[in-house]
Amino acid sequence: MSQITEIQQQIEALEAQKQKLIAQERSDIIEKIKAQIATYEIKASELGFKTLGKIKAKRGVVPPKYKGPKGELWSGRGRKPAWFQMLEAQGLSTEQYLIK
């Protein structure tokens, strides 16, 4: 066997030994870190981790509340559409466009 092959085998054996030691020490370190986090009430954001934030509930489809003169529909939520704004600007009553 050549020296290169022997050295390569030693490297692989040492790498395996290294991984085994890391695995053994890792669980101990994780437990210590968890204990410190709990003791000092450390938040993920304080450690520089991004948080998911609040998860928004999915909203269902809102039925239209208004129907414009050309059949345009608007739920009455969010920004007023241009056709609705024009009706208001002309001084027309928007109540007549309510869907009943």
Token pair for 61: 């489809």
**pLDDT number for residue 15:** 96
| Residue 29 lies inside a defined structural domain of this protein | yes
The answer for residues whose C-beta is within 8 angstroms of residue 81's C-beta and 6 or more apart is 68, 72, 74
**What is the span of the domain harbouring residue 39?**
3-47
Looking at the domain assignment, is residue 83 inside a domain?
A: yes
Give pLDDT tens digits for 30-89: 999 999 999 999 988 888 888 776 777 777 888 999 999 899 999 999 999 999 999 899
Question: b/e per residue, 31-61, with b = 16+ CB within 10 A?
Answer: eeeeeeeeeeeeeeeeeeeeeeeeeeeeeee
Domain count, the chain: 2
Question: Is 56 inside a domain boundary?
Answer: no
* d(C-alpha 44, C-alpha 50), whole Å: 7
**Based on the domain organization, do 43 and 74 belong to the same domain?**
no
Residue 54 lies in a domain: no
Query: Is 80 inside any structural domain?
Result: yes
**Quick one: pLDDT at residue 13?**
96
Residue 79 lies in a domain: yes
In a shared domain, residues 7 and 43 = yes
The answer to whether residues 63 and 75 touch, using CB atoms and an 8 Å cutoff, is: yes
